[in-house]
Each structure stands twice: as C-alpha cells, then as structure tokens.
Amino acid sequence: MAWQPITRIVIADDHPLFRGALKQAVGTALEGADIREVGSLEALTEALSQGADADLVLLDLTMPGVQGFSGLLFLRADHPEVPVIVVSANDDPAVIRRCIEFGALGFLPKTAEVEQMGEAIRAVLDGSVWTPPGVDLSSPVDAEVADMVRRLSTLTPQQVRVLMMLSEGLLNKQIAYELGVSEATVKAHVSAILTKLNVDSRTQAVIAASKIAGTAWATTGASATV
C-alpha cells in the first residue's frame, strides 16, 4: 500500500461536546487524520507555535481570548499559511461574508450535519472556498466597510492582540504587563494601529473594529492617551 501523508487538523472551540461532533466529522471525512483539540485562542496559538504543522484549523468565533473576528484576524496574521474554516452559531450572511473577507476559506454553521461538515473540510483541503448552500457572496460591498476590512487585515499579530486589549479598556501599562513588553513598545503598537486604521484615537480604533466585527467591543477606558 502506498504511503499516504497524515492530515493534521486543529479544532479550536471551547465547547467539548461540539469539539466531539467536529472530531467525528473530521474522522468521517478523513480517515486516519491527526486531530488536536484546543479550547481557547491562547491554546491554539501555543499549539501552532510548537510546530503542530496544521493542515487546517476549525475556528470558533466565540471562545476565551476572542472577540468578534479578532481570533480570525490574529490567526491569519500569525499563520497565513494555515487554511481556516470558521465554525459559528451565527450564520448571518453578513458574518459569513466578513469571515471570507478576513481570509477564512470556509464557513460552517454549528447546525450543519456531519456529512456537510465533511464536505466543507474536504473542499477547503482541496483548495476551494466553501460556504453553506444558498449564501450569496457576490453582492456589492460597502466601500467604507471594505476599506476598514482591508486596513484591519494589515495589522500584525501583536497589533491585533493590542487592539483586542484596547477594546477591553486596558491601559498601556496593563497591556505591557500582559504581553511581557515595555510601555514604550505598547505605545509604538498603538500608534501603528491608529495609522493603519486611519483614525485619531484609541476610542475610534475600537469603534472601527467593533463596526466591522458586528459586536459590541467594549470602549471603556479606550479614550486614554496613546
């Protein structure tokens, strides 16, 4: 029998039962796949940084360490070579479209049947983009929204993390402590974020991100000085 390479899949979701359903779908679609499960963005980052060499990540939009599309943004910036399928309970066409615009190659509603999950996984591994049947991604995009999507996509992984922490209302010194860097480094990241997003303040940066995410990212404390 000819040797077949092992397909490595990482399932990132904070609900063990749903991870189990996804694992079943992956096992059905890809016999012999090496499947790793994680329950937070931090655990996912650690798995990939340790050389997990993933062929595909199945990413939940809502889990510890993630706000809106921030997890997808971070993952695409940090590991652009790894294909991503977003898995979410929110199957609004606007959400699906935004996921694809931010670099996901597929979108799976959490209500999908196991067979459909397998179909999506096989399609993305073959290099295609997969979305639920009937979802139209061809309608015109609002120019302002498209511009902000493009700008957010230029953030580095560390800048995405800083923006996430700004949205939580953390001060520069708190962000510095969390990231293990100096306040001067955080200030430099904040300045770069403002420039890339073409906004004048931390509050405007968080509001811009929140509009794109379609979620109420917190703005408490975001008006603090750069």
- Cα(140)–Cα(81) distance, rounded to whole angstroms? 28
Quick check: 102 and 72 in contact, CB under 8 A? yes
Structural domain total, the chain: 2
Residues 112 and 12 in one domain: yes
- Cα(17)–Cα(24) distance, rounded to whole angstroms? 11
Examine the fold and report which residue of 125, 156, 173 is the final residue of a domain before the chain moves on: 125
Give the max Cα distance, the chain: 64
Quick check: 159 and 186 in contact, CB under 8 A? no
- Domain extent, residue 196, equals 143-213
- pLDDT at residue number 56: 92
Q: Is residue 3 part of a domain?
A: no
What are the backbone dihedrals phi and psi of residue 225, each rounded to the nearest 5 degrees, phi first? -65, 155
Q: Is residue 133 part of a domain?
A: no
Structure tokens at 151: 């700008």
Examine the fold and report which residue of 125, 160, 190 is the final residue of a domain before the chain moves on: 125
Residues 50 and 81 in one domain: yes
Quick check: 94 and 102 in contact, CB under 8 A? no
Lowest mean pLDDT among 47-51, 146-150, 219-223: 219-223
Residues 103 and 174 in one domain: no
* pLDDT tens readout for residues 140-179: 667 777 788 888 889 998 999 899 888 888 899 999 999 9
Q: What CATH number should be reported for the domain holding residue 176?
A: 1.10.10.10
Residues 120 and 52 in one domain: yes
Quick check: 206 and 222 in contact, CB under 8 A? yes
**Predicted confidence band of residue 185 (pLDDT cuts 50, 70, 90):** very high
Q: Is residue 45 part of a domain?
A: yes
- Give residue 98's Cα distance to chain centre: 11
Sign of CA dihedral 11, 16, 18, 23: positive
Q: Cβ of 193: how many Cβ atoms within 10 Å?
A: 25
Q: Is residue 157 part of a domain?
A: yes
* pLDDT tens readout for residues 64-75: 777 778 888 888
Give 142's DSSP letter: P
Examine the fold and report which residue of 69, 94, 125 is the final residue of a domain before the chain moves on: 125
Q: Is residue 219 part of a domain?
A: no
Quick check: 212 and 98 in contact, CB under 8 A? yes
* pLDDT tens readout for residues 93-115: 888 888 888 899 999 998 888 88
Q: What CATH number should be reported for the domain holding residue 118?
A: 3.40.50.2300
Q: Is residue 223 part of a domain?
A: no
**pTM exceeding 0.85:** no
Q: Is residue 163 part of a domain?
A: yes
- Cα(214)–Cα(187) distance, rounded to whole angstroms? 27
